[in-house]
Amino acid sequence: MDRKVVIPGEEIATGEDYLPGEGTEKREGKIFALKFGLAEEQNNLIKVIPLSGNYQPRRGNTVIGEVENINSAGWFISIGASDSAFLSMNEVPRFVNKDAMDEVFEIGDVVCAKIWSMSKRGIDLSVKGRGLGKIKEGIIFYINPNKVPRVIGKEGSMIKLIKDETDCDINIGQNGAIHIRGENVEKELFAKKAIEFVTQKSFIEGLTEEVTKWLEENKK
């Protein structure tokens, strides 16, 4: 079966040969889409890759979010998911003074963190690890979280290309938040434009060549 665009409620396949995967539902022997996206079949398993919608958190994802609130045990981080995310003080690799939690992370600070556990109660974050922690400078902007895989590319090829061409450090959160840091603002803005170009053209084939061309044309 070829990939095709489906809308919620659309019938994708009939028969007992198929199994419903992510974003689909089986009713009366038929498989229906639950999301707007691309329907795909692999070993009789049908799934829908969403093209729009909110961020669906997964364990192990790196996310970028803003500190929303503080309590005596840690910080609440808004990562754009339906559940709230909590960063416990035990997951911060440094000494935390319980009377001055905002010395570590203040309300309004932007934090890069990893999802290490998910339960019904919510999402638990951790900043133990390389590259995680408070973001001190740079530009942060948001893209559609469903387009993050396109921006990263196959085995990181797309993002490596953009990083090399713009000399910027680029950090992508799976929730669609992107942090760029470069030598100067011009370079950062150029990187931002390049990423926005990728998200706009995310549906075309041979995107890497297209982006290489765009980067060359627009480079000063």
Partner 1 sequence: MVDKVRTTDRVTGERIAKYLSEGKRFDGRGPLDFRKIIVEKGISKKAEGSVRVKLGETEVIVGVKLGIGEPYPDSPNKGNFMVTAELLPLSSPRFENGPPKFEAIELGRVVDRGLRESGFIDFEKLCIKEGEKVWTVFVDVYSINDGGNLMDAAALGAIIALKIAKLPKYDEEQNKIVFELTNKPIPITDIIPIPVSVHKVGDAFLVDPTREEEDLSKTRVTIGISNGIISSVQKSNSESLSIDEMKKVFEIANEVSKKTLKELQKYF
52 forms part of the interface with partner 1 (CB under 8 A): no
Which parts of 162-181 interact with partner 1 (CB under 8 A)? 179
**Which of these ranges, 23-31, 85-93, 132-140, 211-219, lies near partner 1 under the rule CB under 8 A?**
132-140
Question: Using the rule CB under 8 A, which residue among 133, 138, 149, 153 binds partner 1?
Answer: 138
Strands 85-88, 122-126: pairing is parallel
C-beta separation of 82 from 56 below 8 A: no
**Which of these ranges, 9-17, 87-95, 97-105, 133-141, lies near partner 1 under the rule CB under 8 A?**
133-141
The partner residues of 116 in beta bridges, in order of sequence, read none
C-beta separation of 158 from 211 below 8 A: yes
- Compute CA 61 distance to the chain's CA centroid, rounded to the nearest angstrom: 8
Of 191, 203, 219, 162, the C-alpha closest to 51 is 203
What's the order of all strands across the beta sheet hosting 11-14?
Answer: 11-14, 30-33, 24-27
**Which of these ranges, 36-44, 93-101, 105-113, 158-166, lies near partner 1 under the rule CB under 8 A?**
105-113
Nearer to partner 1, 122 or 138 (CB): 138
135 forms part of the interface with partner 1 (CB under 8 A): yes
**Binding letters toward partner 1, positions 176-215, x by CB under 8 A:** ---x-----x--xx--------------------------
Of 46, 50, 48, the C-alpha closest to 14 is 46
Q: Which residues bind partner 1 (CB under 8 A)?
A: 66, 68-69, 107-110, 135-141, 179, 185, 188-189
